């Protein structure tokens, strides 16, 4: 299409163009100007006289002279009028094919960059959530060491209540079937296999010792199938889903626990491996080689009358048998002065670790040398004063056990009273 055809089209359909044409004629100074405009087109000669009659009324000129709509007259107008050329240029508002392709390319490039950045944000959010959930699992097991009550580290979590680490993540969330005729009530562990039974939370009325499962230690919302799971930030699951909710959780012989998240892909390169989720020092108190016990003699006489062989016994929640004993320590005759105190040192025998939480201890007689005589029944008599060790051995009852709180990395202070 020639530029003249374009001008003709614009003249017919553009109010701006028609206005500029009329302005051009209104600015004509004499008849010769109009002659210059119209004589250029032979096809317009027939309308020349009509154009001359309308020279002072541009609007009428436009209405009465159809020759203004032809190519030659418009071409001349375009060449003679700068303002008309400017209007023609402004009216061309279309885009070339190259411009459209370039814009589409830039839009697609921006969209791709946005998707890439959004994908990275989602991946980082899943990673951060997985790290946060690892910390929740850790605190569910050993509590929060930064929390303090009356200046002392708060003792809480599964390990403090049960005296052991959970054998699977499910033990932090729920227990399984109740075992009939057990007091305190016991439950089958959700970990399956040869897992230990779980005792419910209970308080011994005699000693005030508390122990047992006080969960759930992690609060979760049931999934669509009704199952309770605590998954990582990626929502992973595996064959041991019922036990570990898609995590790879394990504990070793030293009492340390580790956990692994599979990450976003099955490729191990993006696994989140926390080998120090739980260290043995987080929940086990390694007893010193020697523990001092301060013995208070409330009797009016010096005690004992004769030498007494004593041992220190440590108890967990099972008050029927001690979890740790010491070597024999002799309290010599009259060593405990009346209405005074004496400190005796007891050497701890392996295993020398005791779990944090509320535990118990007693000072007992060991006249039967349990260490060297394996056929001697594991029966002790609590030492209460005078010649208690000379009496017949009897089982220790729960009301004779003294409660003590075992805190991480703190040596317990033990006291014993005789009278």
Q: 122-176 pLDDT, tens per residue?
A: 778 888 999 999 999 999 999 988 888 887 778 899 999 998 999 999 999 999 9
Number of neighbours of residue 217 by Cβ within 10 angstroms: 20
Q: Which residues contact 225 (CB under 8 A, 6 or more apart)?
A: none
Q: What is the DSSP string of 268-310?
A: GGG-EEEEEEE-HHHHEEE--SEEEEEEEE-SSS-B-SS-EEE
Residue 107 resides in a domain:
no
pTM over 0.85: no
> Judging by DSSP bridges, how do beta strands 186-187 and 178-179 pair with one another?
antiparallel
Q: Which of 91, 109, 131 is the last residue of a domain?
A: 91
Cβ contact 185:200 at 8 Å = yes
Both structure tokens of 320: 């029927």
- 102 within some domain: no
Over range 52-71, report the average pLDDT.
44
Res 103 pLDDT > 80: yes
pLDDT at residue 336 greater than cutoff 50: yes
Top-confidence range, 30-34, 42-46, 377-381, 408-412: 408-412
Q: How many domains does the chain have?
A: 3
Q: Do 156 and 249 fall into the same domain?
A: yes
Q: Are residues 154 and 236 in the same domain?
A: yes
Angle at 208 between CA 207 and CA 211, to 5 degrees: 110
Residue that terminates a domain, selected from 229, 248, 283: 283
The structure tokens listed for 114 are 């946005």
pLDDT at 245: 93
Higher-pLDDT residue of 273, 121: 273
Mean per-residue pLDDT for 261-277? 83
Report the pLDDT value the prediction gives residue 46, as an integer from 0 to 100.
Answer: 44
Q: Is residue 128 part of a domain?
A: no
Are residues 272 and 166 part of one domain? yes
User: Mapping DSSP to helix (H, G, I), strand (E, B) and coil, where does residue 382 land?
Assistant: strand
Same domain, yes or no, for 278 and 154?
yes
Average pLDDT estimate for 39-51: 43
Q: Compute the distance between CA of residue 20 and CA of residue 86 in angstroms, rounded to an integer.
A: 10
- What pLDDT score does 29 carry? 46
Both 300 and 266 in one domain: the answer is no
- Residue 226 is given by DSSP the state S
- Give the pLDDT confidence score for residue 23 in this predicted structure: 61
Look over the chain and give the mean of its residue pLDDT values, rounded to a whole number.
77
| Residue 21 neighbours by CB under 8 Å, 6+ apart | 11, 62, 68, 74, 77, 84
Residue of higher predicted confidence among 410 and 364: 364
Identify the pLDDT of residue 151: 77
User: Domain check: are 236 and 193 in the same one?
Assistant: yes
The H or E element spanning position 164 is none
Give the model's pLDDT for residue 131.
Answer: 94
Say how many C-beta atoms besides its own lie within 10 A of residue 331's C-beta. 22
Residue 218 belongs to some domain of the structure: yes
The answer to whether residues 304 and 279 belong to one domain is no
**366-394 pLDDT per residue, tens:** 765 545 544 444 567 888 887 677 666 66
Of 325, 387, 331, 376, whose CA–CA distance to 350 is shortest? 325
8 and 41: one domain?
yes
Residue 255 · residue 165 · CB < 8 Å: yes
- For residue 172, which of 249, 238, 224 has the smallest C-alpha distance? 249
**132 in any annotated domain:** no
CA atoms within 13 A on the CB side of 74: 21
**Pair (182, 266) in one structural domain:** yes
pLDDT beyond 70 at 61 = no
Q: Are both 360 and 402 inside the same structural domain?
A: yes
Those residues with Cβ within 8 angstroms of residue 295's Cβ, 6 or more apart along the chain or in another chain: 331, 336, 341, 342, 343, 344, 363, 415, 416, 417, 418
Check: CB of residue 346 under 8 Å from CB of residue 364: no
Range of the domain at 25: 3-91
Report d(CA 317, CA 315) in Å as an integer.
Answer: 7
Which of these ranges, 68-82, 124-138, 305-319, 369-383, has the smallest mean pLDDT? 68-82
Residue 108 has pLDDT above 80, yes or no: yes
Across 7-16, 212-221, 330-339, least confident range:
7-16
| Domain assignment present for 386 | yes
Q: Is the pLDDT of residue 396 over 80?
A: no
Interatomic CA distance for residues 49 and 29, integer angstroms: 17
Q: Give whole-number Cα distances, 284 to 81, 147, 315, in Å.
A: 99, 18, 14
Q: Is residue 78 part of a domain?
A: yes
Distance CA 62, CA 18 (A): 8
> Does 118 reside within a domain?
no
For the record, the structure tokens of 150 come out as: 């009356």
pLDDT of 69 > 50? The answer is no
Together in a domain, 246 and 261: yes
Residue among 414, 307, 275 nearest 354 (CA): 414
Q: What is the pLDDT of residue 230?
A: 95
Percent of the chain with pLDDT over 70: 70
Tell me the torsion sign for CA atoms 38, 39, 44, 48.
positive
Confidence label for 258 from pLDDT (cuts 50, 70 and 90): very high
Least confident of 60-64, 118-122, 218-222, 358-362: 60-64
Identify whether residues 414 and 298 lie together within a single domain.
yes
Buried b (16+ CB within 10 A) or exposed e, 67-100: bbeebbbbbbbbeebeebeebbeeeeeeeeeeee
Structure tokens at 232: 């990582």
């Amino acid at each position: 299409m020639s530029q003249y055809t374009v001008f003709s089209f614009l003249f017919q359909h553009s109010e701006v163009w028609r206005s500029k044409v009329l302005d051009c004629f209104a600015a004509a100074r004499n008849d010769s100007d109009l002659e210059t405009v119209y004589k250029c087109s032979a096809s317009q000669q027939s309308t020349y006289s009509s154009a001359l009659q309308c020279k002072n009324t541009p609007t009428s000129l436009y209405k009465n002279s159809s020759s203004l709509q032809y190519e030659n007259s418009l071409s001349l107008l375009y060449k003679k009028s700068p303002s008309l050329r400017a209007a023609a240029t402004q009216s061309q508002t279309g885009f070339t094919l190259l411009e459209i392709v370039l814009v589409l390319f830039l839009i697609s490039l921006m969209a791709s960059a946005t998707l890439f950045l959004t994908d990275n944000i989602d991946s980082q959010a899943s990673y951060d959530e997985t790290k946060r959930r690892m910390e929740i699992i850790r605190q569910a097991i050993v509590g929060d060491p930064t929390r303090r009550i009356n200046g002392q580290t708060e003792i809480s979590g599964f390990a403090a209540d049960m005296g052991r680490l959970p054998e699977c993540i499910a033990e932090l969330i729920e227990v399984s079937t109740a075992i009939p005729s057990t007091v305190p009530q016991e439950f089958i562990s959700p970990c399956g296999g040869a897992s230990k039974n779980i005792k419910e939370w209970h308080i011994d009325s005699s000693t005030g010792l508390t122990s047992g499962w006080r969960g759930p230690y992690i609060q979760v919302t049931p999934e669509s199938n009704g199952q309770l799971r605590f998954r990582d930030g990626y929502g992973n699951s595996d064959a041991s889903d019922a036990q570990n909710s898609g995590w790879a959780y394990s504990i070793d012989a030293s009492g340390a626990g580790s956990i692994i998240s599979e990450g976003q892909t099955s490729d191990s390169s993006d696994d989140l491996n926390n080998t120090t989720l739980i260290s043995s020092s987080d929940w086990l108190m390694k007893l010193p080689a020697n523990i001092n016990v301060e013995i208070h003699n409330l009797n009016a006489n010096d005690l004992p009358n004769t030498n007494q062989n004593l041992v220190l016994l440590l108890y967990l929640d099972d008050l029927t048998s001690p979890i740790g004993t010491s070597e024999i320590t002799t309290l010599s005759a009259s060593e405990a002065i009346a209405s005074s105190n004496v400190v005796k040192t007891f050497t701890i025998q392996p295993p020398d670790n005791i779990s944090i939480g509320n535990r118990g201890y007693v000072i007992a007689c060991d006249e039967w040398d349990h260490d060297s005589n394996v056929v001697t029944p594991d029966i002790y008599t609590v030492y209460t004063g005078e010649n208690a060790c000379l009496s017949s051995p009897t089982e220790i009852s729960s009301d004779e056990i003294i409660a003590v709180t075992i805190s991480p990395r703190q040596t317990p202070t033990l006291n014993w009273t005789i009278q």
